Chains A and B, each alone.
Chain A
Amino acid sequence: MQYGSAIRYGAMTYNDDGETVGALVLMLKGANASKVIGDVKERIAEISKTLPQGVEIDPFLDRSKLVGRAISTVTRNLAEGALIVIFVLVVFLGNLRAGLIVASVIPLSMLFAISLMNVFGVSGNLMSLGAIDFGLIVDGAVIIVETVLHQLAMRKPGRLAQSVMDHEVHYSANKMMSSATFGQIIILIVYFPILALTGIEGKMFRPMAETVAFAIIGALILSLTYVPMMSALFLSKKVKHKRTLSDRIMEIFQKAYTPLIHLALKRRILTIVIAIVLFIGSLVTFKYLGAEFIPSLDEGDFAIEMRVMTGSSLSQTVEATQKAAKVLKDNFPEVKEVVGKIGSSEIPTDPMPVEAADVMVILKDKKDWTSASNKDELAEKMQAKLEENVPGVTFGFQQPIQMRFNELISGAKQDLVVKVFGDDLDMLAKYAEQIGDIAQTVKGSADIYVEQVTGLPQIVVHYNRSQIARFGLNIAEINRVIQAGFAGTSAGLVFEGERRYDLVIRLEKENRQSIEDIKNLSVTTPAGIQVPISQLADVEMEIGPNQIQREDTRRRIMVGINVRGRDVNSLVQELQQKIDQKIKFEPGYSLTYGGAFKNLQEASARLSIAVPVALLLIFFLLFISFNSFKQALLIFTAIPLSAIGGVFALWIRGMPFSISAGIGFIALFGVAVLNGIVLIAEFNSLKKSGITNLREIVIMGTRVRLRPVLMTATVASLGFFPMALSHGSGAEVQKPLATVVIGGLITATFLTLLVLPVLYTYFEGIKWKKMKAGATITVLLVLMFSPLVTNAQTNQPKPQPQTLEMIIQKAVTQNASVKSATLDIHKQEYLRKTATDFGKTNIEGQYGQSNSRRWDTYFSVNQNIPNPGLFGAQKKLANARIKESKLNVNVVKNDLIYNVKSVYYQLNYLLAYRQLLYAQDTVYQNFLKAADLRYKTGESTLLEAKTAQTQLDEIKNVAAKNEGDILIAQKELQTLLNSAAPIAITDSMIIKADAASFLHPADSLSSPVLKLIQQKIEVANHAVQVRRAEAGPDFSIGYFNQSIIGMQPVKGQEIYFGAGNRFWGVQASISIPLFYKPYKNKIKAAKVDAQIAQKQFELYSTNIRGKYDQAISEYLKQEKSVRYYEASALPNAEFIRRQAQSAFQQGEIQYVELLQALRTYSEIRSNYLQTVHQFNRSVIELQYLSGKNN
């Protein structure tokens, strides 16, 4: 009776200190890892206190470290990305408050996403949080805030009331919400294909797409609620106009970009050819990139799969593990601990034979490494060292979680598994051996492991059944005896307090050592005789099968290969090819390939359907919103353009294509399409406004949209920047994604801005048959997406009615007078550069007998230097002239706007009048009918009918005249706008101009004309200064060089000087105006000019003051009149009309009386319209005079 132990299937070693005891804590499926680990650690701390003295618990592999590292990488990348995005936003928007409002959307949408993740059970990890790009997410908010800023900038400087601010924000948000929503929905759609993934790739990447989608939805909701609210509340209500840093930056970009687009438009074919060549180049590069499933995550530790010869005992494996641990500990200072897990644990979830061991090598932090700089290098060195020192053992290097991954994916721990299915174990083993040999010859394959199905020495008992029968025994009985003797049989339990131990009966250790012991074991027959087993059976040592693995109820054997330094896909192809060539399988045997590459293939197959479907969906959305097939196609060219950069970026960084990179491409396509939309929408709206020259459209459109395009691209790519550069744990997975987006956006932006415009000129040049979507589908989809399409409608046959602001803006940009006035500024700017004019340089040469009879040469250089004061004076004069030119532009603009407004209000009046005439027309029509009837029935005379007819004709005549006036006004407007199409206006009801802020006498001084004349005085004064400076002395300096051929005395000797011996000197001169009178008179004349200007200024200011006062009186008069109409005349007229009509209906009055009443009503209305028109005229006059004319 003694302490014994159960038969062991596994052991654990610690460093080279011998065997130890340990355990694996298994987490419940679906539990929260970091929480469970936290609880476990807490519990371990408690347990440690209750342990007997001298015993400790030492965790060697703690997932929370990896979780912590991965999550800290993610949070750092996210935080840095967010900061960069905020910075870029502030710079681009040029407004700190606006930047902060948009930036605050980042944490809020993140919180929203996290809440939804919780609701939908998406866990937070490297993949789900890793792909969030705040640049993409805040896109909608940026669009809205930018428009608000733009809208505010259009207003006159000054402080806004909250209600006005609310209105402005509402107006802007409303204007842009379709674009913002449309953009965000497109980004959402591009992520849809990822949701279609299933299996492992689905589990890996769906959380990514889901989280991004949640965040985008959150941002979308916020940009419709929170962002407008905050903008209305917190954006500065003080409107200022000054150039911000961002304006300056944009100017730099603009300067760099303008020549490029001009060049591209000049060499259109070349541009497109370059783009196509680049695209083909990227396709070729893509072929050579290679592919992998998921970039492997650096776990910071190694797991070495160790295999000793099949048939080795547990103690031999333990010994080998110890040896390996010693080698590692001695040679590599990076190694912290080495724990060997040999065979199976108590719960054999991972059943390994006793000759196999998973050796966990726990490493120190990467910064403490000395033997190698990266993981792969260290693994190689370690393997070399181990193979050198521990012979007869194979080592496969992996990482703890990666090993589990692979095992779960394919049932094997290696990256790539070749499985052979069949019946006969020997045949299977033969094939596996051959495949292993072939794999050796394939580059990139490492740690080749051929499963050993046979080779396990075992003692086999072959029963002799006739002998057994003779002794009256049965096989079960003998089995029981053998099992009890060698394995032991439980005879009960022994309790030590709570602890419970088996009581086992088995043979003494020394009696169960050899085959002889079995042979000698006796079995008692029913007769009571003891018979040794050797008499009942043949006991032999045989080599038998070691392990049999089956899959889907067929036996299979496998060859495992780890992939090092090559992508899995190409390796598989090579291996497959070689195997097909060399091995011919017998019937009944088949081969499959498994492992990570299979997932890549499956994922690629799924994505190759899902991505085109999503792209088609986007195409469809574009198609219905632009209502043009070719424009949707045009926008789609952004996709190959963006792919170019993504591929090259991968290539430059030496990364293979992986699912991570694929998702990068997907996000990239979204942004690229957005940029395309921005540009094409602008081109369309320019075209609609009446510009026909495609080149002009392109140049104007790109100029306006350069900022948004650059901003979207910069924000999105810089948001990914920390991810692309990160070296933290887990960065491996994010790097390809970020690299693709950044690289792609660089080319996409560049090419969108150059190639797309060029393509646009081609596409629009070709007159394609306009394609219309099938009516039913359109209706259906328009219903579905109706909020989206409202803004994007393009091909309207009727001119789109435009507001006064829009018309003024267009007039200012398109009218030729403004253009020519603006050109004058350029002219003056060029002239400024002539201010520092030194005059020409005088170079003189002589050849002749000037010094003696010999022929000498003479050269000289002379430069005039005008009086230095002149340059300064001329420069000041030039500056004053530039300012004059600019003021002149203001005058021209003011005139133009005045004219536009006059025509606009005229048109507005005419339209309102037309309505009134229509109403009258109907009344008289009815009257005529009634009068005819009454005449026919004899109730009245012919006179009444005739009167009615005449009245109606009269109205028709007036209406026709009015119609003509409308046409004239529209033509006038069209001329002013320099537009090809007639212009329609939005307001058909009479509107009143807003005037309240101009009623100040001092306003007359801000008249642009006055300012211009004032500047003329300035110019004249500077001209006087120039004249004065001209009267100052001029200078001249020079240098000469000559030969004096002949004998010359030098220190008492006569020396011959030839043509090569040169003599030189310098000269200076000054020219003084001795005859000063002409100069003096020129100065005087200039002074008179200044006086004239001064007088003119006085004259004009008196005039304008007078006009202004008149206009104010006129305004007050009209305003009073308008008030009279609105307060009493109009209501009275209305009353009269209604009373008369009801009285007529009740038969109280006659037709004539009704007619009289209606005529009074119409007259009052017509007078009212005229008065408002007068009023408006006075207002715009005031605005014109005061120059506050926007």
Chain B
Amino acid sequence: MLDKIIKFSIQHKLIIGLFTLGLIAWGIFSLTRLPIDAVPDITNNQVQIITSSPSNGATDIERFVTFPIEQTMSTIPGKEEIRSFSRFGLSVVTVIFKDNIDVYWARQQVSERLAEAKTEIPDGMGNPELGPVSTGLGEIYQYVVRPKPGYEKKYSDRELRSIQDWVVRRQLLGVPGVADVSSFGGHLKQYEVALNPDKLRP
């Protein structure tokens, strides 16, 4: 068979020439399409469930939030490991799946079970949500938003945060391939009705 291939190649030089040109074209086309990164994405298949619950201590979070979530997740097929993290005001449960499992399928499974878990979490203890479809190596670009020299006084970090949240972040979210933009630092602006308990007393 190999013999025939060689014979064919020598006799039909033009066809092999065209085949080579085709290979070059295909290769160059592929080159422009090839995903390029510094290192391979070694991260495992994981889905994070984040629950924010202000004013609760670590033990309460563990008992009322983390434990029910872990409990419902532990029967998901394809699960490899569950890790959790309970801290003052925060619970993060990470469900790690086997590599061959589609991450979107996994998220769907997790959110189905999450509905069940929610019923077991007492009211007011927070609302569990899924983390972004990203990996630990997904933090590809980090930036600060800051006033230019000479404008330091003009912008407080509350305003900068508003700019970040409402101008920068919102537009960045539209970029294809961006899973989320996680704001960091500053003060999240709120309108606050500040009560004075003394004045509330009749």
Contacts and interface: CB of A to CB of B under 8 A. Distances in A.
A169 interface: yes
Closest 6 CB pairs of A and B: A111-B27, A4-B192, A12-B185, A54-B151, A5-B187, A36-B177
Interface of B: 1-3, 5-11, 13, 16-17, 19-20, 23-24, 26-31, 33-44, 48, 50, 52, 54-55, 57-59, 61-62, 66, 70-71, 74, 81-90, 92, 99, 103, 123-124, 131-148, 150-151, 154-155, 157-158, 160-164, 166-169, 171-172, 174-197, 200-202
A52 interface: yes
A836 interface: no
Nearest to A530: B201
B38 to A, nearest CB: 4
Interface stretch (A476-484, A767-775, A1004-1012): A476-484
A204 B162 CA distance: 40
Interface stretch (A56-64, A960-968, A1020-1028, A1075-1083): A56-64
Given A23-B181, A27-B179, 10 more contacts: A21-B183, A25-B142, A26-B181, A40-B172, A63-B37, A351-B85, A476-B123, A503-B191, A509-B194, A511-B196
A33 B38 CA distance: 9
Interface stretch (A486-494, A578-586, A1065-1073): A486-494
Interface of A is mostly: mixed
Nearest to B135: A29
Nearest to A404: B136
Contact of A229 (B17, B29, B74): B17
27 contacts: A1-B194, A4-B194, A12-B185, A14-B144, A20-B146, A22-B183, A24-B184, A27-B135, A36-B140, A60-B143, A62-B142, A64-B141, A108-B23, A111-B27, A224-B9, A229-B9, A339-B144, A349-B132, A351-B87, A353-B87, A404-B136, A456-B88, A504-B190, A505-B192, A507-B197, A530-B201, A551-B84
A1145 interface: no
A32 B99 CA distance: 19
A25 B133 CA distance: 12
A814 B188 CA distance: 94
Contacts, number: 508
Contacts of B2: 177-178, 181, 224, 787
B47 to A, nearest CB: 11
A551 B81 contact: yes
Contact of A547 (B87, B172, B179, B195): B87
Interface stretch (A66-74, A676-684, A1175-1183): A66-74
Contacts of B57: 458, 460, 544-545
A717 B180 CA distance: 46
Contacts of A548: 58-59, 61-62, 66, 85-87
B195 A508 contact: yes
A40 B175 contact: yes
B194 to A, nearest CB: 4
B13 A232 contact: yes
A41 to B, nearest CB: 8
A60 B158 contact: no
A8 B187 contact: yes
A37 B31 contact: no
A226 B20 contact: yes
A551 B30 CA distance: 42
A487 B8 CA distance: 80
Contact of A55 (B151, B177, B180): B151
Contacts of B71: 553
Interface in A169-196: 169-170, 173-174, 177-178, 181
B175 A36 contact: yes
Contacts of A325: none
Contacts of B23: 108, 111-112, 115
Nearest to A224: B5
Contacts of A173: 6, 10
Interface string A256-294: 000000000000000000000000000000000000000
Contact of B36 (A71, A233, A339, A486): A71
Nearest to B93: A550
B191 A502 contact: yes
Contacts of A64: 140-141
A219 to B, nearest CB: 12
Contacts of A3: 158, 189-192
A411 B158 CA distance: 33
A39 to B, nearest CB: 5
A5 B188 contact: yes
A19 B147 CA distance: 12
A759 interface: no
Nearest to A41: B141
A98 B19 CA distance: 21
Contact of A36 (B147, B162, B176): B176
B193 A505 contact: yes
Interface in A1-49: 1-14, 17, 19-37, 39-41, 43-44, 46-47
Interface in A526-546: 530, 544-546
A499 interface: yes
A1065 B152 CA distance: 103
A52 B41 CA distance: 37
A1 B5 contact: no
Given A70-B39, A351-B90, A553-B70, A521 B194 contact: no
